[in-house]
């Protein structure tokens, strides 16, 4: 029976925006089912249903039984361990919204108790033994997990993270070009990011109706640096960041609910593909999730649109379960070599959906139960 084989999973930060998105996306997942929900102490002890009354933000709902789960205190890793021992928990998705240091030590506390942590938070992203995964781009970084476990004397627990939502729309296309043998030296990126990226309550409506906010704290640094770790190499038990490409990012908040758009100008190394080659590389790109036919994997990681005015967030964000990156306006640059516009769904591909895909990958690789 399929149900018997499903891995019971937990969501830390289950009442927040990304936590809700995890729970909604897992409602009918073939491999995982939500059996454990944890949030801040003030919600601990409540039924999930009661805690979410009037706070559930999504149009799709949660899976069977989730409303009746009793919220645990996310700070209490021991409670999670007990759930593991009772067969109610295999691993956790971390969508914690706390101070960075608190998340860092809390995720370690879970992992130390033998509970794998697939995290959406940024706290652990720059630990050299923590893989920052985009399943189509650097699945081999999972190889750091045994090293991480050994170094920290952890048994089955480990921490794996995903990168910031702002880089999804250019990271896969960038990687596809590198994989095809073209070096990329430099990238200018301007993002137009959706309000859901700031969580809930997040961006006040008075700041964004009929307006643009040309600043998102910390976002430009993440957009410039995280790609280098993702493109890095495992050496001496560490993920050593790549040294190229150099990225300059301007990050803006715009009045869009979901879907981050990026305007990109890209400079190749000495060897430069034609626009047609670029299009061919992108439209034929496929990765390990596609090869493994993972449940959350989009059929095509990159979708090209030929219309002059696409991609657009409202019309393209949901492409292929909101897991594909949609590209358009592929054209020469007057300064660099190539310009394009990329788009991806920030709370699905860029957050919960990407996390689930990472978990599927790690399950397929044997790291999860």
Which residues touch 64 (CB under 8 Å, ≥6 apart)? none
**Contact region with a copy of itself (CB under 8 A), list: 4-12, 82-90, 99-107, 210-218:** 210-218
134 close to 96: Cβ distance less than 8 angstroms = no
Q: Is 248 in the site for a copy of itself (CB under 8 A)?
A: yes
Q: Give the span between the Cα atoms of 204 and 62, in whole angstroms.
A: 27
Residue carrying structure tokens 């770790």 = 229
Q: Is 168 helix (H, G, I), strand (E, B) or coil?
A: helix
Within residues 31-90, the interface with a copy of itself by CB under 8 A covers 53-54, 57-60
DSSP 247: E
Residue in 6, 88, 186, 321 binding a copy of itself, rule: CB under 8 A: 186
Which position among 29, 141, 165, 345 bears the catalytic label? 165
Distance of closest approach, residue 296 Cβ to a copy of itself, in angstroms:
18
Catalytic residue among 29, 141, 251, 260: 260
Question: What DSSP element (H or E) covers 28?
Answer: none
Residue choice 40, 82, 238, 252 for contact with a copy of itself (CB under 8 A): 252
Measuring CA to CA, which residue among 119, 123, 102 is closest to residue 158?
119
Contacts of 295 (CB under 8 A, 6+ apart): 29, 30, 31, 360
The least distance separating a copy of itself from the CB of residue 339, rounded to whole angstroms, comes to 7
Q: Would you say 79 or 208 has its CB closer to a copy of itself?
A: 208
- Please give the Cα distance from 356 to 350 (Å, whole number): 11
Where does this chain touch a copy of itself (CB under 8 A) — which range of 75-83, 142-150, 252-260, 294-302?
A: 252-260
Is 184 a binding residue for a copy of itself by CB under 8 A? The answer is no
Instruction: Write down the least CB distance from residue 45 to a copy of itself, Å.
Output: 21
Among 178, 213, 280, 292, interactor with a copy of itself by CB under 8 A: 213
CB of 39 to a copy of itself, least distance (A): 18
Is 165 a known active-site residue? yes
Q: What angle do CA 358, 233, 184 make, to 5 degrees?
A: 95
Closer by beta carbon to a copy of itself, 4 or else 308: 308
Q: How many residues does the chain have?
A: 369
Spatial distance between the Cα atoms of 74 and 37, rounded to a whole number of angstroms: 8
The only residue of 5, 153, 243, 334 in contact with a copy of itself, by rule CB under 8 A:
334
Binding a copy of itself by CB under 8 A: which of 255, 275, 292, 321?
255
C-alpha 107/C-alpha 92 separation (Å) is 10
> Residue 211 CB, nearest distance to a copy of itself (Å)?
4
Q: Which residues contact 140 (CB under 8 A, 6 or more apart)?
A: 234
When binding is defined by CB under 8 A, the residue of 38, 51, 130, 192 that contacts a copy of itself is 192
The answer to whether residues 80 and 10 touch, using CB atoms and an 8 Å cutoff, is yes
Residues in 103-162 at the binding interface with a copy of itself, rule: CB under 8 A: none
Whether the Cβ atoms of residue 172 and residue 139 lie closer than 8 Å to each other: no
Distance in angstroms (rounded) separating the CA atoms of residues 219 and 252:
9
Active site (annotated) includes residue 29? no
Nearer to a copy of itself, 106 or 351 (CB): 351
- What angle do helix axes 168-179 and 219-230 make, rounded to 10 degrees? 30
Applying CB under 8 A, what is the total number of residues that bind a copy of itself? 65
Among 40, 82, 238, 312, binds a copy of itself (CB under 8 A): 312
Name the residues that contact a copy of itself, by CB under 8 A: 17, 53-54, 57-60, 186, 188, 190, 192, 195-196, 200-215, 217, 224, 246-248, 250, 252, 254-257, 261, 263, 265, 306-319, 328-329, 333-336, 339, 341
Active site (catalytic) residues: 165, 260
């Amino acid at each position: 029976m399929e149900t018997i084989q499903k891995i019971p999973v937990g969501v830390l930060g289950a009442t927040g925006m990304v936590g809700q998105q995890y729970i909604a996306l897992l409602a009918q997942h073939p491999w995982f089912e939500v059996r454990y929900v944890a949030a801040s102490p003030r919600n601990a002890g409540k039924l999930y249903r009661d805690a979410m009354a009037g706070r559930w933000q999504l149009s799709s709902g949660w899976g069977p039984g989730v409303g009746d789960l009793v919220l645990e205190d996310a700070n209490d890793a021991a409670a999670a361990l007990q759930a593991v021992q009772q067969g109610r928990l295999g691993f956790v998705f971390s969508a914690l919204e706390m101070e960075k240091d608190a998340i860092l030590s809390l995720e370690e506390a879970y992992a130390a108790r033998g509970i794998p942590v697939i995290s959406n938070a940024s706290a652990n992203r720059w630990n050299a033994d923590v893989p920052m995964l985009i399943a189509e781009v650097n699945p081999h970084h999972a190889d750091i997990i045994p090293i991480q476990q050994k170094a920290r004397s952890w048994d089955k627990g480990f921490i794996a993270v995903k990168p910031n939502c702002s880089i999804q729309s250019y990271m896969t296309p960038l990687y596809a070009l590198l994989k095809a043998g073209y070096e990329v030296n430099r990238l200018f990126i301007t993002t137009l990011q959706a309000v859901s990226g700031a969580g809930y309550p997040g961006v006040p409506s008075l700041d964004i109706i009929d307006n643009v906010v040309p600043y998102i704290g910390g976002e430009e640094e993440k957009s410039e640096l995280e790609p280098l770790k993702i493109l890095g190499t495992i050496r001496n038990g560490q993920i050593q960041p790549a040294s190229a490409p150099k990225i300059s990012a301007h990050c803006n908040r715009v009045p869009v609910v979901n879907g981050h758009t990026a305007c990109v100008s890209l400079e190749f190394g000495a060897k430069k593909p034609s626009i047609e080659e670029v299009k061919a590389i992108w439209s034929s790109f496929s990765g390990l999730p596609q090869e493994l036919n993972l449940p959350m994997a989009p059929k095509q990681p990159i979708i090209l649109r030929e219309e002059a005015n696409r991609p657009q967030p409202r019309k393209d964000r949901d492409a292929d379960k909101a897991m594909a990156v949609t590209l358009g306006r592929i054209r020469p640059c007057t300064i660099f070599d190539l310009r394009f516009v990329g788009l991806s769904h920030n709370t699905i591909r860029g957050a919960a959906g990407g996390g689930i895909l990472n978990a599927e990958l790690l399950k397929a690789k044997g790291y999860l139960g």
